[in-house]
């Protein structure tokens, strides 16, 4: 009986250790917004990769490389930090922009290995639907992340940034600037 109890305890400890050893899992967020403007007008803002001022917290945009082919975009934030993005796909005819983040301070965006696709499609009479799908790992890649960089905090931070950016886009396009 004592051996069985020890064996069960050892098994339980092994299972607990294995669960702890599992690193972060890929998180996914999908947000969309309806904008009271034709898809071409909305795409004119998103597709202008040299100006991302509609994105939350972005004050300056610099692009290097070959647009529409592979290019890099550096977004300067209000605090002076930068996010460096590289395009995966840029398809104006399909109103699709896909990119991944090469460099970001997790204090600005609590995510690692972030990639996203933004699409625009017509949604009825003079309306559009913008969808932003992102996939990423939490801001802290090892086990036992600090609370501000755990899965929930990372999802909350990335989700808030995407929602605010989409709201900014809607305001900008509907205002007509």
Confidence of residue 19 (pLDDT cuts 50, 70, 90): very low
Question: Which two structure tokens, joined as six digits, stand for 161?
Answer: 């940034």
Q: What is the mean pLDDT of residues 142-162?
A: 96
Question: Distance of CA 33 to CAs 98, 143, 165, 169, Å?
Answer: 18, 35, 10, 9
Please calculate the CA angle 116-117-119 and round it to the nearest 5 degrees: 155
Please calculate the CA angle 162-76-159 and round it to the nearest 5 degrees: 15
pLDDT value at residue 124: 86
| pTM confidence score | 0.86
pLDDT (tens digit per residue) in 101-123: 999 999 999 999 999 999 999 99
Question: Distance of CA 34 to CAs 12, 21, 38, 64, 89, Å?
Answer: 50, 42, 10, 31, 23
């Amino acid at each position: 009986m004592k051996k069985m109890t020890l064996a069960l305890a050892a098994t339980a400890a092994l299972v607990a250790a294995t669960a702890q050893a599992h690193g972060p899992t890929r998180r996914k967020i999908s947000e969309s917004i309806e904008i009271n403007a034709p898809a071409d007008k909305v795409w004119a803002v998103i597709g202008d990769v040299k100006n991302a001022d509609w994105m939350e917290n972005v004050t300056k945009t610099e692009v290097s490389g070959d647009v529409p082919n592979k290019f890099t975009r550096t977004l300067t934030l209000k605090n002076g930090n930068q996010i460096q993005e590289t395009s995966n796909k840029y398809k104006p005819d399909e109103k699709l922009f896909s990119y991944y983040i090469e460099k970001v301070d997790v204090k600005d965006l609590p995510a690692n290995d972030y990639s996203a696709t933004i699409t625009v499609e017509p949604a009825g009479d003079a309306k559009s639907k913008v969808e932003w799908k992102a996939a990423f790992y939490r801001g802290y890649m090892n086990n036992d992340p600090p609370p501000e960089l755990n899965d929930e905090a990372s999802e909350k931070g990335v989700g808030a940034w995407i929602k605010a950016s989409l709201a900014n886009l809607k305001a900008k396009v509907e205002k007509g600037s």
